[in-house]
Amino acid sequence: MQKLSFSFLVGCLLLSTGIIAQPDRWQQKIKYTINVNMNVATNQFNGTEKIDYFNQSPDTLTKVFMHLYWNAFQPNSSMDVRSRELGKTKLADPRRNNDGLDWDARVKDRISKLKPDEIGYQNVKSVLINGVAQKLIEHETILEIVLTKPILPKSKITMDVAFEAQVPVQIRRSGRDNAEGIRYSMAQWYPKVVEYDYQGWHANPYIAREFYGVWGDFDVNITIDKKYLVTAGGDLLNANEIGFGYEAKGVQVKPATGNTLTWKWQANNVHDFMWAADPNYKLITRTIPGGPLLKIVYKQVDSLENRWQKMADTCALIYPIIAKTFGAYPYKTYTFVQGGDGGMEYPMATLIKSASIGTAVHEWMHSWYQMILGSNESLYAWMDEGFTDYSSTRAMAMLRNSPGFWYNGSYGGYYRLARSGYEEPASTHADHFNTNFASTSSAYSKGAVFMEQLGYIVGADTRDKILHAYFNTWKFKHPNPNDFIRIAEKISGLELDWYKEYWIYSTKTIDYAVGDIAMVDNKTSITIKRIGKMPMPIDVLVTYKDGTQEMHYMPLNLMYGAKPLETKTPTTVHAPWKWTHPDYSFTTSRAVGEIKSIEIDPSQRLADINKTNNKLVIPE
Ligand SMILES: [Zn+2]
């Protein structure tokens, strides 16, 4: 893969999809060559970046923005003040472990207490283009580079960046000396060019949430104390000089002569680069036939050794399930790295706090939705966290042979959100929700329910075809919500814009109820009532006292079609229910006295916020 050009690669990937026309959206491209020299005594480093930036847009750019994430870890930064502000909200939900407060338990007010040698910073000393210094304006976590000469459409510039940085004490995601004692969790660690796309620059200050970047190639040379084992989301080019278990079998590694080693890493066709280092790291690997080489890097603690080994085995076991259901992982390696403060995803690697299998699989599944599809997480967090939560939970359920085990988690989370009074549309920018609670619940729970409930609307098999077509069509392309819905419409043959508009762009909820029952000739007329403001297609299961069952299906008129039958139960497909009409009546085949129960959506996939009125059991 390294030898192929980026556009050739993307072209091949798209040609293999078949059904769907190739999207023709342009995107920027980048190549970084980064050299850093880490001082493990001061936790500071100097760095240089040579950045080839390809402006593939039709626009002339007069400025370039860069992220300086670590400047967030300073007292009174936007991240600090925002966290303390959100911490003033007392939430009703007692399950949260944040003293019942709305702040992130990992951040709280910790940034406000950092001392000068504990803060983080990234200080760009100079940016040269063709040897000419550019004007720099620092806006805390965003650097604005005012260009002396604009970048013309379809042209390339090379920037030479000199910077210095201090690794913050680990507060959130990256940093030094985390709770498990990992020395360096090096995420968001270099000045990173902001993505510019058809919606313009995405110069989001670093407040809390996640990342969006330009796809490209990284060559990263890390010089550090020779006692440290370095790991990264990428391939180690000089493994046979480095050793530490990276070397090829049988290679005799020459001992380093000085006090440091320079680790030469490469990662191609990725939109970020993370590394980590610790003198007590241990490296183990697992090979997967037809899949990537898994590397697992963790701090050696005897009592935890079994857990890491088991996690490694499980990740190798689950890969074929993931590849079959959601598409193949395209890179050669993936690395699980102990570090950070929970689980956080990066290209070709993740930082996880401990050997939790659930967390490991979740973070790896981000490779599909965040690293390979790469939706803008600030704008469409539900397409990343939601789809990742859905797919990782489903993969775990398939591995454990317990289908449906995600209902409680994701549906339960969504119901708590919908009833909380804090809900805002899932289309809200992730950092701009009024509460962390609503931001998180809408991204994870409501986003995961979106996908499972889509299976209710179009049929589960069709939804699975949509997942494959979406991945194959949009990988390495930054899809947006409309791109997903258009794929879903094309594969299902149904109109689905209404689903996106209600579920993502509004907070309207679903509530259907079994209404009046009346005898008509020798049959039964059943009325279903729409109480909630969000309309949906409706399945109703009628069970008779003799045990026979019949399904009644009312597509929504806005779909302009019906899902394929999903059940062997005899099903009557009724005329579409018009979304404007609050009631719908249909007739069953038998008399009311023979009916035992009437149940809306026995599959439980409809996110009906009041299920107490969904089933009527007629007393004997
Ligand atoms: Zn996640």
pLDDT tens profile 330-377: 999 999 999 999 999 999 999 999 999 999 999 999 999 999 999 999
Q: Which residue has the tokens 């962390």?
A: 436
The percent of residues above 90 in pLDDT, for the chain, comes to 91
Q: What does the pLDDT average to over 189-214?
A: 96
CA 590 / ligand 1 centre spacing (Å)? 49
What Cα–Cα distance (Å) separates residue 248 from each residue in 238, 240, 253? 10, 6, 10
Q: Which two tokens stand for residue 486?
A: 């258009």
Ligand 1: distance of its center to the CA of 193 in Å? 23
Distance CA 154, CA 59 (A): 8
Task: Compute CA distances 154 → 53, 60, 149, whole Å.
Answer: 10, 9, 15
Give the pLDDT confidence of 22-62 residue by residue, as tens digits.
567 999 999 999 999 999 999 999 999 999 999 999 999 99
pLDDT of residue 96: 59
SS3 123: strand
Give the Å distance between the CA of 547 and the centre of ligand 1: 44
| pLDDT value, residue 343 | 94
pLDDT at 22: 55
Residue 415 token pair = 């119901």
Q: What is the mean pLDDT of the chain?
A: 94
Give the CA radius of gyration of the chain: 27
Beta-carbon neighbour count of residue 337 at 10 Å?
29
Question: Is 90 exceeded by the pLDDT of residue 210?
Answer: no
Average confidence (pLDDT) over 170-191: 97
User: Ligand 1 center to residue 373 CA distance, Å?
Assistant: 14
Q: What is the DSSP letter of 236?
A: E
CA distance 530 to 536: 9
The rounded Å distance from CA 345 to ligand 1 centre is 7
Average pLDDT over residues 460-485: 97
- C-alpha 360/C-alpha 363 separation (Å) is 5
Mean pLDDT along residues 522-535: 97
Average pLDDT over residues 249-274: 97
What is the pLDDT at residue 98? Answer: 72
Over residues 605-610, mean pLDDT: 97
Ranges 21-25, 240-244, 586-590: which has the least confidence: 21-25
pLDDT of residue 619: 86
| Residue 361 CA, ligand 1 centroid: distance in Å | 10
d(CA 483, CA 199): 14
Q: Measured in angstroms, how far is the CA atom of residue 352 from the centroid of ligand 1?
A: 11
Provide the whole-model pTM: 0.94
User: What is the amino acid identity at position 211?
Assistant: F
- Alpha-carbon torsion, ordered 355, 358, 363, 366, to 10 deg: 160
Is residue 130 scored above 70 in pLDDT? yes
How far, in Å, CA of 360 to CA of 344, rounded? 9
Instruction: Give the pLDDT of residue 219.
Output: 98
CA distances from 373 to 90, 352, 479 (A): 36, 22, 7
Mean pLDDT of 295-301: 97
Assess whether pLDDT exceeds 90 at residue 16: no
- Cα–Cα distance measured from residue 605 to residue 456, given in angstroms and rounded to the nearest whole number: 6
pLDDT of residue 100: 86
Whether residue 379 is predicted with pLDDT greater than 60 in this model: the reply is yes
Compute how many other C-beta atoms are within 10 angstroms of the C-beta atom of residue 92.
Answer: 12
Tell me the helices (H) and strands (E) count for the chain, helix number first.
13, 31
Mean of the pLDDT values across residues 551-578? 97
Pairing outcome for strands 349-352 and 333-338: parallel
**Distance from the CA of 442 to the center of ligand 1, in angstroms?**
13
Q: At which residue do the structure tokens 């046979």 appear?
A: 240
- 24 burial via Cβ count (<10 Å: 0-12, 13-18, 19+): exposed
Reported confidence tier of residue 407, pLDDT bands at 50, 70, 90 = low
CA 265 to chain centre: 25
Q: Predicted confidence band at 406 (pLDDT cuts at 50, 70, 90)?
A: low
Rounded to the nearest angstrom, the distance between the alpha carbon of 443 and the centre of ligand 1 is 9
Give 315 or 521, the one with higher predicted confidence. 315
pLDDT value for 156: 97
Q: How far apart are CA 301 and CA 305, in angstroms?
A: 6
Q: Is the pLDDT of residue 9 over 50?
A: no
